[in-house]
């Protein structure tokens, strides 16, 4: 096989319930993931040794400067895992085309890892019944990062544990989103740490999170307004504490008619829900004019996970 390209979506967290910190430093979550139509592409082709190249996708304004191109790149680590499982050399060149913001709370690195898992598994084993199934790749993904299994799966799914144990959720129709990206990322561990710090300072003990019934019903019935009202993210106060300017971005989206607004995951990207595609287009234009974001991007969801092109 000469080259394999995989397209992989970004995510937004519709509900991110953060429980107490565990002994291993992770938090138990109820994490409702939703894959949206903002895609990175990863091409895997045979090479003498492992090499990684990262560029912005055509027409995407993504600052890729901070993305490692060596062994630390999550896609490179994914390739190594697949090679070890299949007992082959990691002789592959990975070309990553990024449209997902870097360190933006939309799981861009995790998406590239998921794409590399799927691409390398195919490159090195193109039998009709490959040794590694999708479930195997999702399990391998969990060793790379909590968000990686979902980027393999896609759609809408409830994640528990670190967020890596997934159950697909029933949804109806398509939801229309507008994303406001920010200049400069936020570090995921720093945001979780700030969440713990704020809770401690307020004398709060983290409650054990449960799945929001209102959210699941809104998804199953395709009710965008109800979904907008049910969105919530326990990391939002921490992201706002570390990046206070996000409050203005969220307020502006709400004033301009978004039916739901929240920080995506660990931020700093803000996500706005619109009732129709036309409403999303209008909201995107107005948010752009308001100048409260680095970039405004429209997307819809749910979409499939890592897919061979
Ligand atoms: C914020 C989210 O993107 C929401 O989906 C994820 O929870 C983060 O997932 P991720 O980027 O894949 O994170 P990982 O690479 O697994 O972990 C990075 C760091 O985030 C924190 N972390 C992550 C997941 C989790 N359930 N609890 C945590 O406290 C830990 O400090 C961990 O060391
Ligand atoms: N392929 C990759 N693409 C982007 N970042 C990567 C990649 N591999 C490693 N990284 C590192 O991971 C860090 C986080 O990047 P990423 O884009 O995954 O953040 P994120 O979208 O906030 O993640 P999440 O939503 O899962 O918390 C980057 O600052 C970078 O150093």
Nearest atom, ligand 1, residue 105 CA: 3
Please determine, for the modelled complex, whether the ipTM score is greater than 0.90: yes
Q: Give the rounded distance of the alpha carbon of 86 from its chain centre.
A: 27
Q: Is 105 annotated as a binding residue?
A: yes
The secondary structure of residue 154, as a DSSP letter, is B
Q: Spell out the residues 6+ positions from residue 176 whose beta carbon is closer than 8 angstroms to its own.
A: 224, 273, 274, 275, 276, 277, 279, 280, 298, 300
What pLDDT is stored for residue 80 in this prediction?
98
pLDDT in tens, 65-82: 999 999 999 999 999 999
Nearest atom, ligand 2, residue 11 CA: 25
Q: Determine whether domain 175-301 maps to CATH 3.30.70.890.
A: yes
pLDDT in tens, 112-140: 999 999 999 999 999 999 999 999 999 99
- pLDDT reading at 256 higher than 90: yes
Domain ranges for the chain? 4-169, 175-301
| Whether the CB of 43 sits within 6 Å of ligand 1 | no
pTM beyond 0.80, yes or no: yes
Binned at pLDDT 50, 70 and 90, residue 212 comes out as very high
Mean pLDDT of the chain: 97
3-state secondary structure at position 59: coil
Q: Is 109 annotated as a binding residue?
A: yes
Nearest one of 301, 299, 288, 300 to 253, comparing CA atoms = 288
Residue of 28, 112, 147, 223 with catalytic role: 147
C-alpha 63/C-alpha 66 separation (Å) is: 7
Q: Give the rounded distance of the alpha carbon of 48 from its chain centre.
A: 31
CATH of region 4-169: 3.30.230.10
- pLDDT reading at 1 higher than 90: no
Residue nearest to atom 18 of ligand 2 (CA): 109
Nearest one of 296, 246, 297 to 268, comparing CA atoms = 246
Q: How far is CA 101 from CA 65, 170, 208, 240, 307, in A?
A: 11, 28, 31, 18, 20
């Amino acid at each position: 096989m000469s080259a394999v390209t995989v397209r992989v979506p970004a995510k937004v967290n519709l509900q991110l319930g953060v429980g107490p910190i565990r002994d291993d430093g992770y938090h138990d979550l109820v994490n409702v993931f939703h894959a949206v139509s903002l895609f990175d592409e990863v091409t895997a082709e045979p090479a003498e040794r492992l090499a990684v190249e990262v560029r912005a996708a055509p027409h995407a304004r993504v600052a890729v400067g901070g993305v490692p191109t060596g062994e630390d790149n999550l896609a490179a680590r994914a390739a190594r895992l697949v090679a070890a499982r299949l007992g082959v050399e990691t002789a592959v060149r990975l070309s990553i085309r990024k449209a997902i913001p870097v360190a933006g709370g939309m799981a861009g690195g995790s998406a590239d890892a998921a794409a590399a898992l799927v691409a390398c598994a195919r490159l090195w084993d193109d039998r009709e019944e490959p040794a590694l199934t999708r479930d195997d790749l999702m399990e391998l993904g969990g060793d790379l990062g909590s968000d990686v299994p979902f980027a393999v799966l896609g759609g809408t799914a409830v994640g528990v544990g670190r967020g890596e144990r997934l159950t697909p959720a029933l949804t109806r129709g398509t939801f229309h989103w507008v994303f406001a990206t920010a200049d400069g990322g936020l570090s995921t561990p720093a945001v979780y740490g700030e969440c713990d710090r704020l809770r401690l300072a307020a004398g709060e003990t983290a409650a054990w999170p449960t799945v929001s019934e209102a959210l699941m019903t809104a998804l199953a019935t395709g009710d965008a307004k109800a979904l907008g009202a049910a969105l919530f993210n326990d990391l939002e106060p921490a992201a706002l504490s570390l990046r206070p300017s996000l409050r203005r971005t969220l307020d502006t989206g709400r004033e301009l008619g978004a039916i739901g607004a929240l920080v995506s995951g660990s931020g700093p990207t803000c996500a706005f829900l619109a009732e129709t595609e036309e409403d999303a287009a209008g909201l995107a234009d107005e948010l752009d004019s308001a100048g409260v974001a680095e970039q405004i991007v429209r997307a819809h969801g749910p979409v499939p996970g890592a897919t061979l092109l």
